[in-house]
Amino acid sequence: MKEVSAKKLSVKKRKLKNSAEKDVKDENHYELADFVVRHFRIPNWREYNGNKYYPKELVAFLTDVIELLRTEKALCHISPPVTIVGDLNGHFQDLVRIFNIKNEKTLKEEDGKQVFATEKFVFLGDFTGDNQKYNLETVCLLFGLKMLYCNRYILLRGYEETRSNTEFRNQIMSKFPGAVGEDIWSKFKTAFSLLPAAAIVGEKILCVHSGISPLVKRSIGELKEIPKRDVFENLAPIVRDVIFARPCEPDEDGADSEDPLYIFHEPTNTRKFNDAAIKHFCEKEKIDLVVRSHAVLSNGFRFSADKKLITIFSSPSYKDMPNKGAFLRVSQEGVVSIIQLRPTDKKENPEDKKKKKKSGETGKTESAEKEKRSKEKPKKGSRSTVSESKEKGSKEKTEEGDKKKKKANSKPKSREIESLYDNLSEK
Q: At what angle do helices 135-148 and 55-70 cross, to 10 degrees?
A: 50
Q: Is 203 left (phi over 0), alpha (psi -120 to 50) or beta?
A: left
pLDDT tens for residues 53-82? Answer: 999 999 999 999 999 999 999 999 999 999
Spatial separation of the C-alpha atoms in residues 256 and 274, rounded to whole Å: 7
Q: What percent of the chain has pLDDT over 70?
A: 71
Nearest residue to 262 (alpha-carbon basis) of 311, 309, 304, 213 = 213
Task: Give 357 or 61, the one with higher predicted confidence.
Answer: 61
pLDDT at 63: 97
- Residue 380 sits at φ, ψ, to 5 deg, of -65, 135
The reported pTM is 0.77
pLDDT tens for residues 236-285? Answer: 889 999 999 999 999 999 999 999 999 998 888 899 999 999 999 999 99
Res 50 pLDDT > 70: yes
Q: How far apart, in Å, are the Cα atoms of 256 and each of 70, 244, 309? A: 41, 21, 16
Mean pLDDT is lowest, of 58-62, 163-167, 212-216, 403-407, for: 403-407
pLDDT at 24: 43
Contact criterion met (CB below 8 Å) for 90 and 129? yes
Spatial separation of the C-alpha atoms in residues 285 and 300, rounded to whole Å: 27
Nearest residue to 418 (alpha-carbon basis) of 302, 299, 296 = 299
Mean pLDDT is lowest, of 212-226, 317-331, 358-372, 409-423, for: 409-423
pLDDT at 409: 43
Contact criterion met (CB below 8 Å) for 148 and 32? yes
pLDDT at 27: 59
pLDDT at 40: 93
Spatial separation of the C-alpha atoms in residues 89 and 321, rounded to whole Å: 14
Domain architecture of the chain: domains with CATH: 9-46+53-341 (3.60.21.10)
Mean pLDDT is lowest, of 26-30, 51-55, 116-120, 307-311, for: 26-30
Local confidence band at 22 (pLDDT 50, 70, 90 cut-offs): very low
Spatial separation of the C-alpha atoms in residues 176 and 237, rounded to whole Å: 35
pLDDT at 268: 81
pLDDT tens for residues 114-150? Answer: 888 889 999 999 999 988 999 999 999 999 999 999 9
Query: Which DSSP string corresponds to 108-171?
Result: HH-----HHHHS-EEE-S----TT-TTHHHHHHHHHHHHHHTTTTEEE---GGGTS--HHHHHH
pLDDT at 294: 95
Task: Give 227 or 168, the one with higher predicted confidence.
Answer: 168
Q: Name the amino acid, one letter, at 419.
A: S
Local confidence band at 403 (pLDDT 50, 70, 90 cut-offs): low
Res 368 pLDDT > 80: no
pLDDT averaged over every residue in the chain: 80
Q: What's the mean pLDDT in 394-418?
A: 45
Spatial separation of the C-alpha atoms in residues 325 and 84, rounded to whole Å: 12
Contact criterion met (CB below 8 Å) for 349 and 133? no
Res 13 pLDDT > 80: no
Query: Which DSSP string corresponds to 239-301?
Result: HHHHHH-EEPPTTSTTTT-SS--EEEETTTTEEEE-HHHHHHHHHHHT-SEEEE--S--TTSE
Contact criterion met (CB below 8 Å) for 88 and 94? yes
pLDDT at 411: 39
Task: Give 382 or 131, the one with higher predicted confidence.
Answer: 131
pLDDT at 108: 53
pLDDT at 426: 32
